[in-house]
Structure formats: C-alpha cells, structure tokens
Structure 1
C-alpha cells in the first residue's frame, strides 16, 4: 500500500491473511477479550440482526490497551453505532461514569444491555438510544465519543436493510456515517473532550483528518492494523463491491491492495477553549 503522512512513525500490526477474528483472544460461540486488565465476554444472539464485532471494530479496543491511550475513568461517553455493545462494555469495565449507546438498529439496545449485565457491570450507568445520529440531541456534551462507522460502499444489488447492512455498508461510497460524525462532533463532544475512531482506509481517512483538524481538533494515530476486506458476508457480490472500491481508489478516496486494507485507530482531541457551532 502507498504510504501517507498519517502513518508516519505509527506502529502497524499486520493480521494474518484469511483468518477471521484473529484479534479475539477466544471466540467459540461468543467472543472473549481482555481490556485494561479485565477479561470480558461478548455474545450476539442473532447474527442476522446484529453483526458480531469484526477485527475492524476490535482493532480500536486493541489500540486502547496501549501506553498512549487516553484515560477512561470517570468519563461520560457516547458510543456511536453501538451494535452488540463492544465499546460500551469495555468503557464501563474501564471505569466510565456513564455510557450512552446510540444505534439506528432497534436490536442493538437489548443486546448491548444484555452484554453489559452479563459482564457484571452496573446497568444503571448505561443508557441505550435508538435514533439516527443526525437526529440525536443529548442534554449535555460528552467527555468522550467512540465509534467504528460502517465503511463498505452501498449498492442496490446487495442491499438487505438488516442489521448486517447497517453495521457494514453506508451510502456516499461508505462515508455517510463518517461525514455525520464529523458534522455533529462539535455538538456532541465537550471542549477538551476526545473522539476515538476506528477508521477504514476504504473510506478516505485523509478527508476525515483534514476536516476535523480544520475545526481545530488535534489528530493522533494510535495504531494501524492491516487485515482482509470483510467480503465474506458479500461473497455473492464480491466483484461488484470490489469494482466500487477500485473506483474510489482511482479517485484517491480509498486505499487497499488486493483484498487487504488498513484500519487506523485515530484519536482526536477537541481544544479546551472551543465554543462549538
């Protein structure tokens, strides 16, 4: 893959080719992972409704176990696109004061709550909201926002409208949720707060970094992970999806090599003196 300035001096972890879930410590009928000294367990009751977290999402969890990761104790956090509750569970286990799990998929609330309770965490510190990001207006801004947006390009030939599509596919060439996050961040994140994002190289990382830094946010890449493009769920439409991705690559809006791409664990800090829009 072509080097870019965003990757300078950032550790890059290359995950094995063709191995699904290689960041999971254990994944039989459920997923088990370690986060900041605690072993946590994640279950998805209906994989057709809620995507079991992939390496793309888990990469941010892995990066947050590193030395340069921000503190999570006592934060008020927003988990955008909560899905099965991977980030909500991890944040609460790490000492977050309150976590709001936001997802457009109604099935997310029940599964996230179940996973929080199953890990022995305080369910009263969790609030689940079913809403599009564009329509969500919190009472107060958050200290921390965390997200792993869908990043595969939409095409009518493989549109399903189920939870799997919600988690993986987005319009505007896979950028719809990234664009919404950037647009809404000043209204969601408190001055001095932190945005944590698992950002796919298939969805124009430089654009997101440029737009947020133009708003005054400080940008840092915690870690880079190279892995397989998650085409297994779209095997029948693999060529259609790859054609769309190649078009985006030719336009300078995606980076990948064959079936391998990268996920950047990004951290953006909002200036303490920012007043917002």
Structure 2
C-alpha cells in the first residue's frame, strides 16, 4: 500500500536571528518550558557530556502543543536519542504510561532520570537503555516513537569523542541516525503507532518522507520552524562545516539560506494491521 503524500506547509515560525536558544527561557544548562498545561524544568550538569537541547529539539515540543498533535495519554513510548530527557520528561508529564529512553551516550541515563525526578514524575515509568539504535532489540513494540536525530555532517577536522558529538554530528552527511530510524521503524513501532520526528532541512527531508511513504506510512507536517544553524559549538570549524553543507545543497540533499535553516515537526502513522 502506498500512503498519501505528506502535507506541504508554506508558513513557518521564524525564530529571531542570532538568538541561540530563543525558545528557551534560559540557557545553556537550565531551561523552563511549558507543555500541555505543565511548566517543566530541564537541567544539564555538564553540557559537554550531555548536550542541553537546542531549538531544533525544542521545536517538536512546541509543535506538539498544537491542536493537530496526537494524544499522549497512556502510550508506551520510545525516545530515540534521549539526551538530557527533554522528550521523556514531556511525555511522562503528558500522561504516557511508560517511556523507554535510548541513547548511545552512557552519560545520558543519569541526567534523564534526574530530570524526570526533579519534575515530580514517576521514575518507575522510565527505562533508560544505553545502546546504538542498530543494536537495540526490545521485547515489545511501541505505540509512539519520538526522535530528534543529529543532523550536522561529520568531518575528521572537528570530530570529537563526547556527548556534543553524538548529539549534533552524524556520518553519511548527517543522515546516519535518520537512516537507522527508517530502517528500524517496522521493528520498533506497532501497527497503528505514531512516529514523531524533528527533521532538519540540512539532512534531506524529502528522502526520509519518500522512504517512509514507500513503506505505507502516512505523513503529516505539524509545523515548520526557521532558525540559526547551531554552529556556536563549532565556531573554529564553521567554514569547513558550511562547505560540506553547501556541497549537500548543490546535490539537493540540504536546504538552507546563509546560516538559517528549517526544522520540520513531522508525524508519521504506521498503518494498522488488516484483519
């Protein structure tokens, strides 16, 4: 079965130029956000170990506060690339029955759990798993999968072995985790389930949409955000990174204007099994 094309939006929420973290009340290691009627707080003890969420990740939270967002009450959810626990905290606060937080960075688990507890949420409903996505073999399928994959292209000149690297940079032109999500989704997401994704325009959105649509998933764009490319952490290598992105743009694999790009809050539904 071939699903209908994803809805195309033309309007976008434009975040102020040069104001890194403009969706946050405060940065870079502590922030407050509101989600579905609850005021939540996120803290990162060491931003070099576990990245404090950027606007790219927070944009999906903002989109999920809209009228077209799915019901989160009672779901069994998987948070891929959980980091400091932004999505895990939000899902539990919105009434998710259980959340499994998955990340390749071993430092994430303690930080995610601490943020769940600090917000007065039931930590027994959270499970943290340290593993590459490709090696993760759960005992069950999930009602909902949520993710904000790393989206900046890798280059040896600025490669580093820390939490910042795993959160922002990926091989295959920034597509490595996107590709893994698509490849693993039929194993992870239950029939009738929902995939929520913050998808950067720097990492070939049309490819992801086409591949999931070919699998029968029905796609929808909840909202589009325009913001600065997160280059502050790579200021010394800005020219190299922008050069790689320009190469990808020339071949149709990235879209951006100067130092501005867009993040699409995407929702895909897996078809229910036929009886």
- TM-score normalized by structure 1? 0.95
Check conservation: 2:29, 2:45, Cα contact below 8 A.
no
How far did 1:9 drift? 3.5
Corresponding residue for 1:30?
30
Size of the alignment, in residue pairs? Answer: 271
Check conservation: 1:72, 1:91, Cα contact below 8 A.
yes
Corresponding residue for 2:111?
111
Check conservation: 1:10, 1:222, Cα contact below 8 A.
no
Deviations 1:26-69 (Å, cap 9, x if unpaired)?
A: 44751000000000000000011011000000000000000000
Q: Distance in 2 between matches of 1:166 and 1:145?
A: 19
Corresponding residue for 2:85?
85
Corresponding residue for 1:227?
227
Unaligned ranges ≥5, structure 2 = none
Q: Distance in 2 between matches of 1:6 and 1:159?
A: 35
Superposition map of 1:8-27 within 5 A: 8-9=8-9, 11-27=11-27
Q: Distance in 2 between matches of 1:178 and 1:274?
A: 28
Q: Distance in 2 between matches of 1:197 and 1:10?
A: 19
Corresponding residue for 2:258?
258
Superposition map of 1:260-275 within 5 A: 260-273=260-273
Q: Distance in 2 between matches of 1:7 and 1:17?
A: 27
How far did 1:11 drift? 3.9
Check conservation: 2:103, 2:130, Cα contact below 8 A.
yes
What RMSD, in angstroms, separates the aligned Cα atoms of the two structures? 1.4
Corresponding residue for 2:62?
62
Superposition map of 1:125-144 within 5 A: 125-144=125-144
Check conservation: 1:191, 1:274, Cα contact below 8 A.
no
Check conservation: 2:77, 2:99, Cα contact below 8 A.
yes
Corresponding residue for 1:43?
43
Check conservation: 2:80, 2:101, Cα contact below 8 A.
yes
How far did 1:25 drift? 3.3
Unaligned ranges ≥5, structure 1 = none
Check conservation: 2:7, 2:220, Cα contact below 8 A.
no
Corresponding residue for 1:213?
213
SS of equivalent residue, structure 1 residue 46: coil
Q: Distance in 1 between matches of 2:16 and 2:155?
A: 29
How far did 1:8 drift? 2.7
How far did 1:227 drift? 0.3
Q: Distance in 1 between matches of 2:163 and 2:135?
A: 19
Deviations 1:255-277 (Å, cap 9, x if unpaired)?
A: 000000000000000001179xx
Q: Distance in 2 between matches of 1:186 and 1:274?
A: 15
Check conservation: 1:26, 1:33, Cα contact below 8 A.
no
Q: Distance in 1 between matches of 2:160 and 2:24?
A: 27
SS of equivalent residue, structure 1 residue 236: helix
Corresponding residue for 1:178?
178
Distance 1:237 1:71, change over 3 A: same
Q: Distance in 1 between matches of 2:96 and 2:242?
A: 39
Check conservation: 2:59, 2:225, Cα contact below 8 A.
yes
Q: Distance in 2 between matches of 1:159 and 1:138?
A: 30
